[in-house]
């Protein structure tokens, strides 16, 4: 983009959604040419905290009893802690199979172990987004939907705010948009099961918020 004549090389920003909302600060932290970033449903805490909270919130949104959802989230937390602590692949495989036995259909255990022990997952579990956020100096817009059940605003927005404060960043804005889900659609429960049922691709409220903020920069 910087090589194109019609583009002002000093006004190129990044918009990242979900995992992209974690990556955008990584890039901005090491590249001063990034003029601004917009974090849409980006996380502010490590993945080993995000995933159990996500699982619990989704279950409740889908109609599960809070007590059962909390119990299942606790079991997921135990599995993630095992993945982080056990360095021997063979021992980890055995321990995970023992933990999942009776909880996960036998035919799916192998697939679930592959997912939870992947290189990406191991990185996501331990990476703290605050590491990059503490080094971001450019303007930042942070948005979350109040019905986001994948990246919970109550869990992540305060952590992002704290990290940007620690960075000494004076040009950031954080907002929780009422009634929007993880995809920034107007939703009823926020459950991922609703995504494909909602005709709206993205709320005009979210789009206006982003475009107006970018123009101010």
Between CA 6 and CA 191 the distance in angstroms is: 42
Q: Is residue 38 classed exposed, middle or buried when 0-12, 13-18 and 19+ CB atoms within 10 A define those classes?
A: buried
Query: Which pLDDT belongs to residue 209?
Result: 98
Report domain extents, the chain.
14-45+128-216, 47-126
CA 111, CA 108: separation in Å to the nearest integer? 5
- The mean pLDDT of 69-80, rounded to a whole number, is 92
Q: What is the pLDDT at residue 92?
A: 87
Structure confidence at residue 5 (pLDDT): 94
Band of residue 210 on the pLDDT scale cut at 50, 70, 90: very high
pTM: 0.92
Residue 180: pLDDT band (50, 70, 90) is very high
213 pLDDT above the threshold of 90: yes
Residue-level pLDDT at 107: 82
* Third-level CATH fold of 14-45+128-216: Rossmann fold (3.40.50)
Please, is 128 exposed, middle or buried when counting C-beta atoms within 10 Å of its C-beta (0-12, 13-18, 19+)? middle
- Enumerate the β-bridge partners of residue 14: 37
Percent of the chain clearing pLDDT 90 (strictly above): 83
What 3-state DSSP class applies to 100?
Answer: helix
User: What value does the mean pLDDT take over residues 99-108?
Assistant: 83
Q: What does the pLDDT read at residue 118? A: 92
Instruction: Give the integer Cα–Cα distance in Å for 199 and 186.
Output: 9
């Amino acid at each position: 983009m910087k090589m194109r004549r019609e583009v002002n090389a000093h006004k190129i920003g990044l918009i990242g959604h979900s995992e992209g909302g974690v990556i955008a600060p990584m890039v901005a932290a090491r590249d001063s040419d990034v003029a601004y970033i917009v974090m849409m449903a980006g996380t502010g805490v490590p993945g080993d905290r995000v995933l159990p909270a996500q699982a619990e919130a989704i279950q409740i949104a889908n109609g599960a009893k809070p007590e059962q959802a909390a119990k299942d989230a606790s079991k997921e937390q135990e599995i993630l802690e095992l993945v982080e602590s056990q360095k021997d692949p063979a021992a980890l495989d055995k321990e995970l199979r023992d933990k999942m036995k009776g909880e996960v259909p036998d035919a799916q255990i192998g697939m679930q172990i592959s997912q939870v022990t992947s290189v990406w997952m191991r990185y996501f579990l331990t990476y703290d987004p605050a590491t990059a956020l503490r080094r971001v100096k450019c303007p930042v817009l942070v948005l979350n939907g109040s019905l986001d059940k994948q990246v919970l605003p109550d869990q992540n927005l305060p952590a992002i705010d704290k990290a940007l404060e620690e960075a000494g960043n004076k040009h950031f804005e954080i907002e929780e948009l009422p009634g929007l889900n993880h995809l920034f659609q107007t939703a009823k429960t926020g459950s991922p099961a609703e995504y494909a049922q909602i005709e709206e691709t993205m709320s005009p409220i979210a789009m206006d918020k982003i475009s107006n903020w970018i123009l101010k920069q």
